[in-house]
């Protein structure tokens, strides 16, 4: 596929540029054309339509799919109604930073500075939140602004979801418009405000969808014009075909595989016009596109090779944008990209094997492209999917060194069922950032909350204060830990602090949700979900069938190990008093506490070791978190789902956190998801068994476990290596494990990549639910990946970190003090 080789090389060599087109056009609409007396639903819909209808259409290359999400080959679009204004102080320097520069021309910077940002200065979601009187409380808002305790994804919109694209492929947007129009006509506006809201909703759906159709028509016109100006006959035929496709879809039903894949991509473009680009995911592509693939193959109008080329084109398109990231975020947790997610395999709604020929085409696409976007997850049902599928997934993981991640159908379906999902809907799940969601039915808001668990423990040990905030009272004044007579009293105080901290973050999340409902409805997305059209209710107001919010937790392993260290070291063996421990934490385990720190790091049981004390504390911690969240209902009338998929945030949060009782010093990175702390467990089988034992029922939002494996030796059988990895995955899943993701990398390779980035320009790695380029990650995140324990696959034994590296002082936390 010479086209794909050429496009991929160009894609990887293209720098990210900030695209101001959307921000400029919606600002133009709001300042010159908007009727401020219109309800927000109609105002947002007209704004979206204006942007889609008036944006410049450029065909950047000879990709077989039409259109792009921004005006740049790889763009970072600005959403001023969300977090776009965060780069205002950085307009002159954002393109010159050392890591992940995002290029911005002086002319575009001036437009943002003088025309765009001044209009939006009091309108972003966070500013509307600050302006609310009484809700949220000043304490909750202050904790959000400090970043060290928790963050809220809804500041940046609600985009981590999987729309029901199959409906557009089946009926076309004109069919959805016709349904909305028909439902609007039977409503009587005189019957009260609720009916008027429904009418406005149906009108907003029609307006927004019409904008998407107008954009496709404009693409068709540009493609036809370009064809007339092209001398090359082959390229002329491709452009004419693109023009015909864009005249058909997404307005009308797709008739072929090529039309279907283009229609899905045009829907993705349209949704980016409405909402920020984080985790907006196409979902189960091998199910959505399968009817079109099968029919075209049977009719002889498509070959697997042609389908593969089209899928590779889609992979490149899904990575044509990235999230706008300001300097602080880049330093703490940058490098994750926009993270659209693709899910393959598993079972269908009736519980049958869903793996098909297109699944294998898409696995081959993943293997060939080896790109950061999209993040790919392969579902696996141990009892239904066959061994050949399992082995092919493993082979792709080995060949790419990282992707896809693999998710357990058995546990995910049961966990979704425990949260009220109908069985058929639970079976039809897609994965976003490690979290399973019912595709097209659950406006899951997977990244609503990111909570630093270590802060709750720190508040417990310092009676509602933290090492960072010193004497400021953050949490309630719980009992002095020096007065604790038993371990149970520690748990009681921790539960109080955790419940209070969760109360603050839920209060923020609910307030932001109400801001979305009032000011930032999403008529276009609502049209592509099951439920809103039937109810006449925007998805942001609870129109979807399910409305969960994901609450992810940072620092799980360190907190679990800290509980075990206190239980054993203080209350069982009496090696240290609580007063001595708290004093050591205050001093960050200074020289006078070296022996204590050495004991805490190596003697008490560690999460991942299968020790009964550690296992009990892990299960108890997970159950406690689940119980704290269950009473809370979000503003869309859905539940908060605990999850343990941390993307890149665990490194940044670790840098903001003080010392912990497990011997971790201040500002050291945490491990991601449910991954044990670096160097804690020497046996891979123990890690897999211990994490599986935590269970899936109290983790309905899913959890990630990262395993770093030694690459296959040249003298080692590739078949045996793949068999061992496949058996390991299946054994873990049969014991209750939820997810696995691998980095088939050695210490030496990652250390070399950190020291010589030019040699590893596009090395892909897994980072707790997402795929990333190693070079794009923050220094803390690189440190975390290097420090993760590396296991020999054949024996399961941990490989020692190279002595020369440890003695060089690059990682002072490795080895005895």
Whether 285 has a pLDDT exceeding 60, the answer reads yes
Whether 803 has a pLDDT exceeding 80, the answer reads no
- Mean pLDDT calculated for residue range 632-639: 95
Whether 616 has a pLDDT exceeding 60, the answer reads yes
- pLDDT digit string (tens) for 32-65? 999 989 999 999 999 999 999 999 998 889 999 9
Does residue 203 lie within any of the structural domains? no
Whether 451 has a pLDDT exceeding 90, the answer reads yes
Task: Please return the burial class of 494, using the count of CB atoms within 10 Å of its CB with bins 0-12, 13-18 and 19+.
Answer: buried
Does residue 621 lie within any of the structural domains? yes
Cα separation, 185 vs 189, in Å, equals 10
- Mean pLDDT calculated for residue range 299-319: 98
Contact 691, 674 (CB under 8 A): yes
Whether 708 has a pLDDT exceeding 80, the answer reads yes
343 membership: H or E segment, kind and range: strand 341-345
Does residue 24 lie within any of the structural domains? yes
| Torsion of the alpha carbons at 550, 551, 557 and 562, rounded to the nearest 10 | -160
Contact 21, 70 (CB under 8 A): yes
- Mean pLDDT calculated for residue range 380-395: 98
Does residue 769 lie within any of the structural domains? yes
Whether 166 has a pLDDT exceeding 60, the answer reads yes
For residues 524 and 630, state if they share a domain.
yes
Work out the pLDDT band at 300, boundaries 50, 70, 90.
very high
Ordered DSSP codes for 272-287: HHHS--SSB--B-HHH
Query: Percent of the chain scored above 70 by pLDDT?
Result: 98
Write down the pLDDT at residue 145.
Answer: 85
Residue finishing a domain among 107, 128, 148:
148
Whether 813 has a pLDDT exceeding 60, the answer reads no
Write down the pLDDT at residue 806.
Answer: 57
- The single residue listed with the structure tokens 């695209």 is 19
For residues 401 and 418, state if they share a domain.
yes
Ranges 132-136, 211-215, 324-328, 361-365: which has the least confidence: 132-136
Ranges 311-320, 483-492, 649-658, 721-730: which has the least confidence: 649-658
For residues 45 and 6, state if they share a domain.
yes
Domain ranges, residue 105: 2-148
Whether 808 has a pLDDT exceeding 60, the answer reads no
For residues 495 and 537, state if they share a domain.
yes
For residues 544 and 657, state if they share a domain.
yes
Contact 438, 545 (CB under 8 A): yes
Work out the pLDDT band at 809, boundaries 50, 70, 90.
very low
- Mean pLDDT calculated for residue range 314-336: 87
Distance set, CA 376 to CA 261, 306, 358, 431, 503 (Å): 17, 21, 14, 9, 34
Write down the pLDDT at residue 334.
Answer: 73
Contact 655, 332 (CB under 8 A): yes
Work out the pLDDT band at 805, boundaries 50, 70, 90.
low
Query: Percent of the chain scored above 90 by pLDDT?
Result: 85
- Which residues, 6+ apart, have CB-to-CB distance to 462 below 8 Å? 582
Residue finishing a domain among 120, 148, 176:
148
Cα separation, 326 vs 483, in Å, equals 45
Whether 104 has a pLDDT exceeding 90, the answer reads yes
Quick one: how far is CA 603 from the chain centroid? 36
| Residue 226 DSSP class | H
Write down the pLDDT at residue 328.
Answer: 81
- Structural tokens at position 375: 């993040």
3-state per-residue secondary structure call for 395-448 = HHHHHHCCCCEEEEHHHHHHHHHHCCCCHHHHHCEEEECCEEEECCCECCCCCC
Whether 556 has a pLDDT exceeding 80, the answer reads yes
Whether 543 has a pLDDT exceeding 60, the answer reads yes
Residue finishing a domain among 649, 667, 701:
701
For residues 589 and 677, state if they share a domain.
yes
Does residue 243 lie within any of the structural domains? no
Write down the pLDDT at residue 489.
Answer: 97
Does residue 491 lie within any of the structural domains? yes
Write down the pLDDT at residue 128.
Answer: 92
For residues 451 and 412, state if they share a domain.
no
Contact 528, 281 (CB under 8 A): no
Report the SS3 class of residue 508: helix
For residues 391 and 481, state if they share a domain.
no
Write down the pLDDT at residue 812.
Answer: 41
Of 561, 53, 81, residue with least CA distance to 276: 81
- Mean pLDDT calculated for residue range 450-477: 91
For residues 692 and 760, state if they share a domain.
no
For residues 520 and 621, state if they share a domain.
yes
Work out the pLDDT band at 816, boundaries 50, 70, 90.
very low
Work out the pLDDT band at 807, boundaries 50, 70, 90.
very low
- Mean pLDDT calculated for residue range 218-239: 96
Write down the pLDDT at residue 253.
Answer: 98
The pLDDT mean for the chain works out to 94
- pLDDT digit string (tens) for 477-511? 999 999 999 999 999 999 999 999 999 999 999 99
Does residue 137 lie within any of the structural domains? yes
- Mean pLDDT calculated for residue range 411-415: 96
- Mean pLDDT calculated for residue range 662-682: 94
> Bridge partners of 633?
639
Cα separation, 640 vs 619, in Å, equals 19
For residues 461 and 558, state if they share a domain.
yes
> Bridge partners of 740?
406
Does residue 572 lie within any of the structural domains? yes
Write down the pLDDT at residue 148.
Answer: 81
> Bridge partners of 7?
none
Count up the domains in the chain and report the number.
3
For residues 437 and 551, state if they share a domain.
no
């Amino acid at each position: 596929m010479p086209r794909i080789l050429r496009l991929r090389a160009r894609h990887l060599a293209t720098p990210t540029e900030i695209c101001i087109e959307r921000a400029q056009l919606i600002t133009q609409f709001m300042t010159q054309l908007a009727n401020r007396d219109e309800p927000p639903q109609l105002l947002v819909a007209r704004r979206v339509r204006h942007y889609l209808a008036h944006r410049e259409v450029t065909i950047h290359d000879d990709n077989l799919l039409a259109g792009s999400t921004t005006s740049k080959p790889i763009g970072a679009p600005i959403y001023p109604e969300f977090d776009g204004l965060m780069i205002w102080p950085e307009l002159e320097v954002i393109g010159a930073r050392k890591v992940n520069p995002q290029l911005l021309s002086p002319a575009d910077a001036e437009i943002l500075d003088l025309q765009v940002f001044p209009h939006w200065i009091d309108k972003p979601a966070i500013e509307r939140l600050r302006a609310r009187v009484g809700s949220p409380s000043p304490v909750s808002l202050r904790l959000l602004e400090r970043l060290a305790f928790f963050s809220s994804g809804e500041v940046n919109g609600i985009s981590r979801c999987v729309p029901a694209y199959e409906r557009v492929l089946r009926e076309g947007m004109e069919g959805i418009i016709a349904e909305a129009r028909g439902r609007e006509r039977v409503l009587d506006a005189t019957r009260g405000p609720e009916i008027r809201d429904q009418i406005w909703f149906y009108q907003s759906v029609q307006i927004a969808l019409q904008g998407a159709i107008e954009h496709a028509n404009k693409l068709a016109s540009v493609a036809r014009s370009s064809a007339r100006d092209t001398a090359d006959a082959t390229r002329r035929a491709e452009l004419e075909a693109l023009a015909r496709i864009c005249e058909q879809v997404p307005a009308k039903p797709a008739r072929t595989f090529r039309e279907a894949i283009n229609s899905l991509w045009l829907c993705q473009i349209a949704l980016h016009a409405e909402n920020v680009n984080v985790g907006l995911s196409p979902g189960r592509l091998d199910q959505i596109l399968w009817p079109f693939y099968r029919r075209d193959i049977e009719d002889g109008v498509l070959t697997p090779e042609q389908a593969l080329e089209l899928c590779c084109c889609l992979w490149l398109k899904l990575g044509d944008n990235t999230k706008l990231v300001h300097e602080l975020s880049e330093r703490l947790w940058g490098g994750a990209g926009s993270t659209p997610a693709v899910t393959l395999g598993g079972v269908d709604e009736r519980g049958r094997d869903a793996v098909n020929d297109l699944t294998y085409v898409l696995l081959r696409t993943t293997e060939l492209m080896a790109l950061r976007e999209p993040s790919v997850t392969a579902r696996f049902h141990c009892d239904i999917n066959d061994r050949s599928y399992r082995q092919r997934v493993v082979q792709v993981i080995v060949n790419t060194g990282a992707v896809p991640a693999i998710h357990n159908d058995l546990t995910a379906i049961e966990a979704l069922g425990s949260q009220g999902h109908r069985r058929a809907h639970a079976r039809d799940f897609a994965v976003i950032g490690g979290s399973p969601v019912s595709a097209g039915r659950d406006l899951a808001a997977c990244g609503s909350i990111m909570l630093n668990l270590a802060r709750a423990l720190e508040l417990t040990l310092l009676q509602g204060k933290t090492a960072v905030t010193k004497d400021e009272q953050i949490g309630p004044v719980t009992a002095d830990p020096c007065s604790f007579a038993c371990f149970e009293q520690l748990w009681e105080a921790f539960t109080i602090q955790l419940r209070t901290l969760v109360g603050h973050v839920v209060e923020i999340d609910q307030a932001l949700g109400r801001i979305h409902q009032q000011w930032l409805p999403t008529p276009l997305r609502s049209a592509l979900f099951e439920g809103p059209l039937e109810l006449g209710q925007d998805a942001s107001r609870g129109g979807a069938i399910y409305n969960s919010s994901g609450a992810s937790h940072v620092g799980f392993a360190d907190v679990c190990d800290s509980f075990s260290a206190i239980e054993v070291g203080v209350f069982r063996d009496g090696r240290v008093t609580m007063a001595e421990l708290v004093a050591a934490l205050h001093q960050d385990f200074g020289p006078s506490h070296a022996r204590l720190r050495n004991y805490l790091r190596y003697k008490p049981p560690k999460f991942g070791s299968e020790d009964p004390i550690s296992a009990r504390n892990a299960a108890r911690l997970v159950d406690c978190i689940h119980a704290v969240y269950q009473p809370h209902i979000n503003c869309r009338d859905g539940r908060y789902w605990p999850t343990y998929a941390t993307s890149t945030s665990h490194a940044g949060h670790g840098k903001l956190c003080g010392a912990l009782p497990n011997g971790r010093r201040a500002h050291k990175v945490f491990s991601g998801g449910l991954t044990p702390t670096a160097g804690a467990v020497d046996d891979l089988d123990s890690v897999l068994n211990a994490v599986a034992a935590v269970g899936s029922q109290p983790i309905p939002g899913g959890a990630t476990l990262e395993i770093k494996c030694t690459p296959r030796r040249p003298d080692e059988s590739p078949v045996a290596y793949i068999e061992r990895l496949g058996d390991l995955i299946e054994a873990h899943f049969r014991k209750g494990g939820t997810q696995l993701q691998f980095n088939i990398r050695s210490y030496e390779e990652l250390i070399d990549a950190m020291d010589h980035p030019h040699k590893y320009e596009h090395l892909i790695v897994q980072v707790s639910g997402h795929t990333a380029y190693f070079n794009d990650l923050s220094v803390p995140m690189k440190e975390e990946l290097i420090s993760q324990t590396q296991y020999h696959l054949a024996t399961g034994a941990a490989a020692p970190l190279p002595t020369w590296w440890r003695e060089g002082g690059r990682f002072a936390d490795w080895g005895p003090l």
